[in-house]
Chains A and B, each alone.
Chain A
Amino acid sequence: AQRVTQPEKLLSVFKGAPVELKCNYSYSGSPELFWYVQYSRQRLQLLLRHISRESIKGFTADLNKGETSFHLKKPFAQEEDSAMYYCAGRGKLIFGQGTELSVKP
């Protein structure tokens, strides 16, 4: 079955610390993966997709087929990064459980 897994429900770091939000996928065929972010009281927004290999707001994510992972990273967390982050895969978007990132001053 198609599955996207985010093992951490909550990740708390201090401002300026590195951040890694984990995402593992499990399905056949070519992976199509995205990271979405949901700030408090706002709609879901696309943050990254693996095919574009871009950096948005300092975040990057690399697809690792060997480990079937698509972890989201940022070298120096900012307070404004605090939000819910969802990893999602495939055309109709199978969502991971979400990770709440809390960046403390």
Chain B
Amino acid sequence: GAVVSQHPSRVICKSGTSVKIECRSLDFQATTMFWYRQFPKQSLMLMATSNEGSKATYEQGVEKDKFLINHASLTLSTLTVTSAHPEDSSFYICSARENRGLGPQHFGDGTRLSIL
């Protein structure tokens, strides 16, 4: 079945560092990918919709300059947390829809980001 690969699975870094997270659709093309954030014992919160070849659409309250999204190809979207601070520590999950955005969403394994 369709698989979404997310890398890295875990990042620990110092405050002020920028961190890039990759999301790849392995056996299908994804014109649209989604980035979520999940706090402990809470549900997923949609951060932004990543659109191949165009600007991402951010949800209300999500800082565009803080969370840079690039969707340069049909199989890869990246999320860069710029100048990360401890409050950015969280679990970040990406997903992609197959079948030209009409099929179900498939999720990556998530990235645990810890900022010291």
Contact = CB atoms under 8 A, between A and B. Distances in A.
Interface in A57-87: 86
A91 to B, nearest CB: 7
Contacts of B36: 95
B42 A97 contact: yes
Range for the number of chain A residues in contact with chain B: 10 to 19
A46 B105 contact: yes
Given A34-B104, A92-B49, A43 B110 contact: yes
Interface of B: 34, 36, 42-46, 49, 93, 95, 97, 101, 104-110
Contacts of A34: 104-105
Contacts of A96: 43
Contacts of B44: 44, 86, 93, 95
Contacts of A97: 42-43
The 10 closest A-B pairs by CB, nearest first: A44-B107, A98-B43, A95-B44, A97-B43, A46-B104, A95-B43, A43-B109, A43-B107, A92-B49, A93-B105
B41 to A, nearest CB: 9
A34 B105 CA distance: 10
A91 B101 contact: yes
Contacts of B42: 97-98
Interface string A24-35: 000000000010
A72 to B, nearest CB: 15
A96 B44 CA distance: 8
A11 to B, nearest CB: 15
A43 B34 CA distance: 15
Contacts of B105: 34, 46, 93
Contacts of B43: 86, 95-98
- Most B CB atoms within 10 A — which of A44, A49, A86, A97? A44
